[in-house]
Amino acid sequence: MNVKICTETFESNKPASLATYLKYGGYEAWKKIITEKTPKSSIVEKIKNSGLRGKGGAGFLTGLKWSFIPLENKQKYLVCNSDESEPGTCKDRDILRYNPHSIIEGMLIASYAIGASVAYNYLRGEFIDEQKRVFDEALKIAYQENLVGKDILSSSVSIDIYSLIGAGAYIVGEETAMLESIEGKRGMPRIKPPFPAIKGLFGKPTIINNTETLASVPKIMRNEPDWYKNIGIGDSEGIKMFCTSGHLEKPGNYEIPLGTPFRDLLELSGGVLNKGELKAVIPGGSSVPVVKGETMLQLNMDYESISSAGSMLGSGGVIVMDHTTCMVSVLQRISRFYYAESCGQCTPCREGTGWLYKMLTNILEGKGTISDLDTLNRIASQIEGHCICALGDAAAMPVRSFLKNFWHEFEYYVDKKQSMVS
């Protein structure tokens, strides 16, 4: 099934232009909502019934999240999480530069549905040039057309949208750390509860959604929930963008129905580089458990199938590794990232990520012992589930899964002081 939502403008001559977006039915849903004064609860129910899940990593039902917002008439906020920092993930980057109006319309619909009059799009620091420039230009045009702002299209509905740029810190991708950053504070996760839907930005009820999630909303509203619900499989309704990287002939972003066999995604990506042998796949960004190649070839790209193999769909960052890959080196590199990006607030994460990186480095330098492998597992278990946010889990899960699936390779490196594939 060749259905496009977020990527439908990508191959146009001027993909980011308002004219291109209008050609694909852009802003029709938004105009209909504000002219017909569609009840807010009706929009929430439609998104809930569509089965749309958050596409940033957690996969939480979007409509259900919106329904957590208190009904009383007080200041509320919407935040679009465009801080795409998960290694292996690059989908939001392309939506921002090739289909920015879908994000704006999605933010408008979501803001209206939850009763928010102000919305922020928080972009990662590395997006300061092209992505922010393109989004800001699209937003400027939307304001000029009175699709955003005060008394939108004479409807008495007023919603303002602002874009913000981060400073390149991975941790602000965590929703409460992002709220702290927007407020001008150091980006560090908050203790939950209270959850943002009750006490979020500036202490007011707030919904945070991923870029791809919000960009999917307008077309769902145009085509009705059942259209989207019937695209996917089981409890994984709809479609999703997957970012394929690593040892591939055609790495890139591919928008496909959930439930598509991994073999098909691999074929879309040109197959393994130089017709090599598939060794391993990280299916949802660097923070999720690794899966052996032979196992991955039997799976579908949906939440349930990937979960059955002990991993997660996550952000959709599919990292492919062939038979030439040293798994010890890969894990050390991943561990270095999480060590560097820990905010330091929680002791298990602050200290544990450092120990993981140092011990893996020792193994690579020929200083490791067999007992170190058990220690790595033990440290990971002491981090996982013991921190305020999920960064600790993100550091621990790769360690545990790499050791579980490729123990022999780590054991060989300790014994022989060199890689099995060198």
The count of domains in the chain is: 3
Asked whether residue 1 is assigned to any structural domain, the reply reads: no
- Tens-place pLDDT, residues 307-356: 999 999 999 999 999 999 999 999 999 999 999 999 999 999 999 999 99
Residues in the chain: 422
CB-based contact 203:76 (threshold 8 Å):
no
CB-based contact 163:132 (threshold 8 Å):
yes
Asked whether residue 110 is assigned to any structural domain, the reply reads: yes
Asked whether residue 3 is assigned to any structural domain, the reply reads: no
Asked whether residue 234 is assigned to any structural domain, the reply reads: no
Domain co-membership, 347 together with 257: no
Asked whether residue 245 is assigned to any structural domain, the reply reads: yes
At 1 the pLDDT is 59
Asked whether residue 7 is assigned to any structural domain, the reply reads: no
Domain co-membership, 22 together with 62: yes
Asked whether residue 248 is assigned to any structural domain, the reply reads: yes
3-state secondary structure of 129: coil
DSSP 248: B
Domain co-membership, 117 together with 223: yes
Q: Is the dihedral of CA 41, 64, 303, 78 positive or negative?
A: positive
The domain that contains 384 carries what CATH number?
1.20.1440.230
Domain co-membership, 260 together with 300: yes
What mean pLDDT is reported for the chain?
Answer: 95
pLDDT-derived band at 235 (thresholds 50, 70, 90) equals: confident
pLDDT-derived band at 232 (thresholds 50, 70, 90) equals: confident
pLDDT-derived band at 236 (thresholds 50, 70, 90) equals: confident
Domain co-membership, 298 together with 353: no
Q: Which of 63, 89, 71, 85 is nearest to 213 (CA)?
A: 63
- Decide if pLDDT at 107 tops 70: yes
pLDDT-derived band at 394 (thresholds 50, 70, 90) equals: very high
- Decide if pLDDT at 29 tops 90: yes
- Tens-place pLDDT, residues 34-69: 999 999 999 999 999 999 999 988 789 999 999 999
- Decide if pLDDT at 399 tops 90: yes
What is d(CA 74, CA 44) in angstroms, rounded to the nearest whole number? 18
**Domain, as residue range, for 70:** 18-229
What is d(CA 252, CA 37) in angstroms, rounded to the nearest whole number? 40
Q: Which of 159, 130, 135, 165 is nearest to 147 (CA)?
A: 159
Pairing of strands 278-282, 317-322: antiparallel
Domain co-membership, 149 together with 214: yes
- Decide if pLDDT at 270 tops 90: yes
CB-based contact 363:348 (threshold 8 Å):
no
- Decide if pLDDT at 33 tops 80: yes
At 73 the pLDDT is 82
The domain that contains 75 carries what CATH number?
3.40.50.11540
At 404 the pLDDT is 97
Domain co-membership, 211 together with 244: no
pTM listed for this prediction: 0.95
Domain co-membership, 395 together with 312: no
Domain co-membership, 121 together with 40: yes
In this prediction, residues 25-33 reach a mean pLDDT of: 97
Domain's final residue, options 322, 344, 375: 322
At 208 the pLDDT is 98
In this prediction, residues 388-408 reach a mean pLDDT of: 95
Give percent above pLDDT 70 in the chain: 100
CB-based contact 284:317 (threshold 8 Å):
yes
The domain that contains 278 carries what CATH number?
3.10.20.600
- Tens-place pLDDT, residues 110-128: 999 999 999 999 999 999 9
Domain's final residue, options 289, 322, 355: 322
Contacts of 366 (CB under 8 A, 6+ apart): 417, 418
**Residue written as tokens 């952000």?**
315
Helices 211-223 and 100-114 pack at an angle, to 10 degrees, of 80
Asked whether residue 11 is assigned to any structural domain, the reply reads: no
Q: Which of 133, 136, 125, 129 is nearest to 162 (CA)?
A: 136
Domain co-membership, 285 together with 331: no
At 286 the pLDDT is 94
Domain co-membership, 365 together with 343: yes
Domain co-membership, 81 together with 138: yes
Q: Residue by residue, what is the 3-state secondary structure of 168-208?
A: CCHHHHCHHHHHHHHCCCCCCCCCCCCCCCCCCHHHCCEEE
Domain's final residue, options 229, 251, 282: 229
